[in-house]
Structure 1
Amino acid sequence: MVRVDDSETRPKCWLTQRELDQLERAAGRDGWEREVAIQLMARSGLRASEVNYPGDDELWWSDDGDCWRVEVRGKNTKGGEKTMRDAWLPDDVADDLRKFSRERDLATTDPWIDASTDSIRRWVREAREVLVEETGDERWTLVSAHDLRRSWATYHLVERDVGVRTMMSIG
Structure 2
Amino acid sequence: MKCWLSTNEQEALLATVENDTRRELAMSLGLCGLRTAEIEAVERRNFRRATSADGSVWKVAIEEGKTGDREVPVPQEVRDLAERLANSAGLRKDEPLVGRATRTLRSWMEGARNQIADSLEDDGRDDDAEEWREVGMHDLRRTWATDTYYKLAMANVPIAETLVMGWGGWVMNEKGRETFREEYLGPEPDFVAVEASDVLGLGASESASSLLK
- Runs of 4 or more, structure 1, over 4 Å off, are none
Q: Is the Cα contact below 8 Å between 1:60 and 1:69 reproduced in 2? A: yes
Which of 138, 142, 145 is the aligned partner of 2:137?
145
Per the alignment, residue 75 of structure 1 pairs with 66
Letter in 1 for 2:66: K
Letter in 2 for 1:122: S
Q: Which has the higher helix share?
A: 2
Per the alignment, residue 109 of structure 2 pairs with 124
Per the alignment, residue 166 of structure 1 pairs with 163
The 5-angstrom pairing of residues 86-125 of structure 1 reads 86-125=71-110
**RMSD after superposition:** 1.6
TM-score, with structure 2 as normaliser? 0.67
1:51 counterpart = 2:34: no
Measure the CA separation in 2 of the matches of 1:46 and 1:150: 10
Measure the CA separation in 2 of the matches of 1:21 and 1:97: 18
Q: How far did 1:22 drift?
A: 1.0
Q: Is the Cα contact below 8 Å between 1:56 and 1:101 reproduced in 2? A: yes
Q: Give percent identity, aligned residues only.
A: 29
1:63 counterpart = 2:51: yes
Deviations 1:61-106 (A, max 9, x none): 0124721111113212xxxxxx211111111111121122112221
For the residue of structure 1 that corresponds to 2:40, the secondary structure is coil
Per the alignment, residue 173 of structure 2 pairs with none
Q: Is the Cα contact below 8 Å between 1:59 and 1:68 reproduced in 2? A: yes
Q: How many residues align?
A: 153
1:156 counterpart = 2:148: yes
Which of 67, 80, 85 is the aligned partner of 2:70?
85
Letter in 2 for 1:40: L
Letter in 2 for 1:89: V
TM-score, with structure 1 as normaliser? 0.83
Measure the CA separation in 1 of the matches of 2:21 and 2:120: 22
Q: How far did 1:55 drift?
A: 1.2
Q: How far did 1:160 drift?
A: 4.3
Measure the CA separation in 1 of the matches of 2:59 and 2:38: 14
Per the alignment, residue 16 of structure 1 pairs with 6
Q: Is the Cα contact below 8 Å between 1:48 and 1:145 reproduced in 2? A: yes
Measure the CA separation in 2 of the matches of 1:27 and 1:127: 7
For the residue of structure 2 that corresponds to 1:98, the secondary structure is helix
